[in-house]
Structure 1
């Protein structure tokens, strides 16, 4: 009964409801214009598929499987911890942690965890933001509220993307033991960009898309979180393709 309730509840969420409604509407158009109907039907079907945890788990695996979670027992020394920026939602009425999106807060928590494991390491928080509210400043305030001393935290507020983050931080990181914290899907591209700046990083991925615990009956139901995760991974594939093209034209570009 509990699982049935969960299945029905999942089907009543906006994404599956709208897709089912659109599919039913298309059935009434099938006899009028076959080509537009076929294209629409395939589009709806594809949208449903990439919104399911089943398909999402298949699509995200190639990127996330490359780097396992950080294992402190394999790295006795870490001198610098770099947390890359992500989404921010500025609102002065809220505490700093509530102005960080899920991706940013997940990365920061992993950075703080590593800072506690390596009490002598510096914590670099990176990323620009919206207006005067930068990812770096919000992460700094949040890290301090979680017990990290302000003297240990270094900000990188001017970086607009990962290439900027690697370039701006390089003078502070070269020849040090550096743990790089970012989302599992983003680690491949981030590590490549930092390596290009002469920084050998120890991957510390987080923010994994974890569908292993989902009940099999719900793996085929369209889900907004699954679609968001797939979108983030497609963004990474586009980013990797762009990086390859840029380096093909100019190997020294980034």
Structure 2
């Protein structure tokens, strides 16, 4: 499953698609289809130029990241617990502990800690054996990280189950489906996760972190950016994941 996901991430990358188009144009030119080769080359170059613009990434990400209300802790006083779905933790290589955490994991867990301190409610972390080292369970590492931040052990509930959003919510529902939750997740992930929680009959408000766009929709030009290419890829992946959920898993 991990290998298949990596292949999909590679194939939907605008950079990969642009390179493939440029290589195709060369092949057509070698076969004496010069006009076709020129058109394909133009497509590849245009795609690379367009998708490397931060504004284009903003436009693609906006419906994902800014589709719902932004909450404050004062709006969430009726919540029973904070739910933090898994992101990623690097189990390979000789790295300092803090460097093993992906940015989205860091932001989700720190925000959960802030809410826990303010609202005096526990944090629920999920995630099983989906990391490179299958002996490491994500939720147990997340629990340890929260405790190093000062959260008391009795305020962190670890559910070491789930390899994706759907299975994590299923594990959550089994034990805490009756609770009113505040869910802390990445902004690009919020729409899909909200749908999964709703279909599981779990009452939860979503608090967004790890924004990938500025929310600026007014057109602007800037130098091509590799970061914009990555954010465009991330938007494409999330849209495909939403379609997959509604077609195959809902």
TM-score (norm: length of structure 2): 0.79
* Pick aligned residue for 2:212 from 206, 209, 212: 209
Query: Could you state the TM-score of these two structures normalised by the residue count of structure 1?
Result: 0.77
Looking at structure 1, the residues matched to 241 and 215 of structure 2 have their Cα atoms a distance apart, in angstroms, of 27
Stretches of structure 2 lacking an aligned partner (at least 5 in a row): 1-14
Matches within 5 A, 1:181-192: 181-192=184-195
What residue in structure 1 maps to residue 12 of structure 2? none
Runs of 4 or more above 4 Å deviation = none
SS of 1:90 mapped into structure 2 = coil
Distance across 1 between alignment mates of 2:159 and 2:202: 16
Cα deviation, 1:128-158, whole Å, max 9, x if unaligned, reads 3222233222222221111111221122222
Partner of 2:105: 104
SS at match of 1:130: coil
Aligned partners of 1:40 and 1:94: how far apart in 2?
42
Taking a change above 3 Å as real, the CA distance of residues 203 and 133 of structure 1, as seen in their structure-2 partners, is: same
Structure 1 vs Structure 2 CA RMSD: 2.8
- 1:115 aligns to what? 116
Change (3 A) 1:118 1:163: same
SS of aligned partner of 1:228: helix
Matched, 1:222 2:221: no
**How far off its partner does 1:212 sit?**
5.9
Question: 2:159 matched to which residue of 1?
Answer: 156
Report how many residues are paired.
Answer: 223
What CA deviation, in whole Å up to 9, does each residue of 1:151-192 have, x standing for no partner?
211222221111001101102322212011111111111111
The residue that corresponds to 2:200 in the other structure is: 197
Give the deviation of 1:47 after TM superposition: 2.2
What's the secondary structure of 1:191's corresponding residue? helix
Question: What is the aligned partner in structure 1 of residue 176 from structure 2?
Answer: 173
Is residue 57–residue 213 contact of structure 2 (8 Å, CA) maintained in 1? no
